[in-house]
Structure 1
Amino acid sequence: MQITIYATIISFVIVLLIGPIIIPALKRFKFGQNIRDDGPKSHLKKAGTPTMGGIIFILSIIITTFIVQRKMSGPLYVALITTVGYGFIGFLDDSLKIIKKRSLGLRAYQKLIGQITFAFILSYYAYINKDIGSVIHIPFTNSMVDFGIFYIPFMMFVIVGVTNSVNLTDGLDGLASGVTLIVSIFFAIVTYGLGDKDLSLFCGALSGSLLGFLKYNSYPAQVFMGDTGSLALGGAISALAVLLRMPFILVIVGGIYVVETLSDIIQIISFKTTGKRVFKMAPLHHHFEQEGWHETKIVAWFCIFTAILCLIGFLAISF
Structure 2
Amino acid sequence: MKSVLIAAVVGLVIGLLGTPAYIKYLVRLGYGQFIRDDGPTSHHTKRGTPTMGGTVIIAATLTAYAVAHLATLTTPTVSGLLVLFLMAGLGLVGFLDDYIKISRQRSLGLRSKQKLAGQALVAIIFAVLALNFPSDGHRTPASTSISFVRDTALDLAFAGPLLGMALFVVWANLMISSWSNGVNLTDGLDGLATGVSTMVFAAYVLIGIWQTNQNCQITPGPKCYEVRDSRDLAVVAAGAMGACFGFLWWNAAPAKIFMGDTGSLALGGALAGLSITTRTELLMVILGGLFVTITLSVVIQVASFKSTGKRVFRMAPLQHHFELLGWQEVTIVIRFWIIAGLFAALGLGVFYAEWVVGSG
TM-score tier (shorter):
over 0.9
- Partner residue, 1:18: 18
* 1:115-172 per-position Cα deviation (integer Å, ceiling 9, x unaligned): 0111112222233354232123235x88443222222211211111111111111000
Q: Distance in 2 between matches of 1:98 and 1:174?
A: 21
- Which of 196, 204, 221 pairs up with 1:187? 204
Identity of aligned residues (%): 41
- Partner residue, 2:285: 251
Determine if the alignment matches structure 1 residue 123 to structure 2 residue 127. yes
- Partner residue, 2:48: 48
- Partner residue, 1:27: 27
- Partner residue, 2:117: 113
State the 1:114 CA deviation.
Answer: 0.6
Determine if the alignment matches structure 1 residue 138 to structure 2 residue 138. no
- Partner residue, 2:177: 160
Summarize the alignment of residues 207-226 of structure 1 with structure 2, pairs less than 5 Å apart.
Answer: 207-226=241-260
User: Structure 1 stretches of 5 or more lacking a match?
Assistant: none
Quote the RMSD (CA, aligned, Å). 1.4
Counterpart amino acid of residue 299 in structure 1? V
* 1:91-111 per-position Cα deviation (integer Å, ceiling 9, x unaligned): 000000011100100000000
State the 1:316 CA deviation.
Answer: 2.2
Aligned to 2:10, what secondary structure does the other structure show?
Answer: helix
Counterpart amino acid of residue 44 in structure 1? H
Q: Distance in 2 between matches of 1:118 and 1:208?
A: 25
Is 289-298 or 31-40 further displaced after alignment?
289-298
Counterpart amino acid of residue 147 in structure 1? L
Q: Distance in 1 between matches of 2:148 and 2:65?
A: 30
Determine if the alignment matches structure 1 residue 277 to structure 2 residue 294. no
Question: Does the 8 Å contact 2:82/2:130 carry over to 1?
Answer: no
Aligned to 2:13, what secondary structure does the other structure show?
Answer: helix
Counterpart amino acid of residue 187 in structure 2? D
Question: Does the 8 Å contact 1:123/1:242 carry over to 2?
Answer: no
- Partner residue, 2:88: 84
Counterpart amino acid of residue 133 in structure 1? S
Counterpart amino acid of residue 249 in structure 2? K
* 1:60-94 per-position Cα deviation (integer Å, ceiling 9, x unaligned): 11111111114311011111110100000010000
Question: Does the 8 Å contact 1:126/1:242 carry over to 2?
Answer: no
User: Structure 2 stretches of 5 or more lacking a match?
Assistant: 158-163, 213-229, 355-360
* Structure-1-length-normalised TM-score: 0.96
- Partner residue, 1:103: 107
Question: Does the 8 Å contact 2:34/2:106 carry over to 1?
Answer: yes
Counterpart amino acid of residue 255 in structure 2? A
Question: Does the 8 Å contact 2:4/2:68 carry over to 1?
Answer: no
Counting matched residue pairs gives 318
Counterpart amino acid of residue 151 in structure 1? F
In structure 2, relative to structure 1, the CA distance for the partners of 1:107 and 1:142 (3 Å cut) is closer
Aligned to 1:35, what secondary structure does the other structure show?
Answer: coil
Determine if the alignment matches structure 1 residue 176 to structure 2 residue 193. yes
Aligned to 1:104, what secondary structure does the other structure show?
Answer: coil
Q: Distance in 2 between matches of 1:270 and 1:287?
A: 15
Question: Does the 8 Å contact 1:53/1:223 carry over to 2?
Answer: yes
* Structure-2-length-normalised TM-score: 0.85
Counterpart amino acid of residue 154 in structure 2? V
Q: Distance in 1 between matches of 2:148 and 2:81?
A: 26
User: Which structure has the bigger radius of gyration?
Assistant: 2
- Which of 268, 271, 284 pairs up with 1:234? 268
Q: Distance in 2 between matches of 1:159 and 1:99?
A: 28
Question: Does the 8 Å contact 2:288/2:340 carry over to 1?
Answer: yes
Is 15-24 or 161-170 further displaced after alignment?
15-24
Aligned to 2:285, what secondary structure does the other structure show?
Answer: helix
Question: Does the 8 Å contact 2:145/2:151 carry over to 1?
Answer: no
Question: Does the 8 Å contact 1:50/1:224 carry over to 2?
Answer: yes
Q: Distance in 1 between matches of 2:153 and 2:5?
A: 31
Counterpart amino acid of residue 147 in structure 2? H
State the 1:175 CA deviation.
Answer: 0.4
Q: Distance in 1 between matches of 2:253 and 2:196?
A: 14
